Chains A and B, each alone.
Chain A
Amino acid sequence: MELLIGQMFAGLSLGSVLLLAALGLSLTFGQMGVINMAHGEFMMAGAYTAFVVQRSVSDAGISLLVSIPVGFLVGGLMGLVLEAVHLRRMYHRPMDTLLVTFGVALILQQVARDVFGAPSVDVRAPAWLQGNVELLGSPIPLTRLFILILSLLCLAALAFLLRGTSLGRRIRAVVLNRDLAESSGISTRRTDQLTFFIGSGLAGIAGVAVTLIGSTSPYLGTNYIVDAFLVVVAGGVGQIKGAVIAAFSLGVLQSALEFSTTASIGKVLILVLIVVFLQLRPQGIFSLKTRSLA
């Protein structure tokens, strides 16, 4: 029983990290069809932001709370620059954006290596996040609980943004039918920019969050990007609820498979499962009903 709860929580915790990484990706991929391989590097930027903030603010608790909005801004601004400089000219060829953003990712990794050095750095978790809580007899690390709550908060904020604000209505309109949205007076240009800002900002927050459970290195992004993309693919492109279900089921499945086999075989099995799943639902868990053939 304790083992089961421990396993479940490990899965949910992995799922929440995946969800944080995939939320922003789902937004930018779904909204604009842009496959942003630099998303992982925006996470890395968020993580290094937490590191830098902690060096200037000595108290670990305050620095964490400051890092989250600052990480959001850093990630968001990087996304905004990338979108403005390059991607907006490439919306009609989404596959090529993947390669272009991969180039950006390479450059950002090297920048991190040159500025912070190749060895990884550590961010201290604040005192109130050290230790465990007991849940039905099994210990739950507070840092992981914090990340779970943070990811749910981000999810709630994003859901509110999409459902309850005029920006959200504009975003949904552009996703459904770009031309019609434009002819109804929505500036798709500004909507794209804001969407990219928010999506990349979420990557920044994810980066701050993962500093609590691991060390920060220039390769941080590459560890998460492939899994985050798999979440988006399994969940259905541009589907936030799909991403939520996919992230938590992949998290639980992966930690269960890694527990019963080995870490490497678990990864392979997950991939096989996703390919099999796509046989049943090629468009992911949820799909947007449109009249396009693609």
Chain B
Amino acid sequence: MNGMLAVLWREYLFFKNRIWSITGSSLVAPLLYLTAFGWGLGRAVNMAGVTYVDFIVPGILALSTMNASFNAVSTPLSIARLYDRTLEEYLVSPITLFSFAAGKILAGALRGLYVGLILLAVAFVFGANFRLSGLFLLLAFLNCLVFASLGFLVALKVQSHPDMVRFNSFIITPMIFLCGTFFSLEHLPTHIQLFIKALPLTPASQGLRSLALGQELSWYAPSLQLLYLAAFLTWGLWASHKVE
């Protein structure tokens, strides 16, 4: 527990020192999506019975929290491991690997939630309609935890910075566009639908959209997210035992 608090304190200092650059850089892409696909295209298009802008806000929230949480952990931790070697200070200290992982992942997830809340505020100011509830925020935070855990795992497995760039290009970026963020999956062939539904971002975009539009939340979303969280966390802990 003390180890986790120490890690969180370090992450807080980093966040405090860079709050404006973190906030700005995290919001550029989602605001562009909102402007182009939401207010530009979205005024004239309806999807799934609602205006397009209302349709894509939950999707953009899902992808933004994914990006913010993943990047808050993956790049800094891989640099700490491969270049600064500041990771060794944590590995040498008498904290458990679980408390180290928990601190890093929680800090990354809180960064994701911070970006998500700002995005919701901006979308609200610009006239998007969505239902905000505790369950909605909980599901968004679960998405943050899933991708912060993935960031932790990837940071401990990559061998260089270009590896991290490749992971972003081949795994993270395709999910931004595929996982039901900008369009409904209904029109896709069944086997492609099944594949996309199994990806870790899809339950977030689908589940958040259901809640935002006042529909019932399917068990599929939180169950799959919890499954991914457990898998990434376990794999990440195993990787932290092995990392040298």
A and B: bona fide binding partners: no
A residues with a Cβ closer than 8 A to B are none
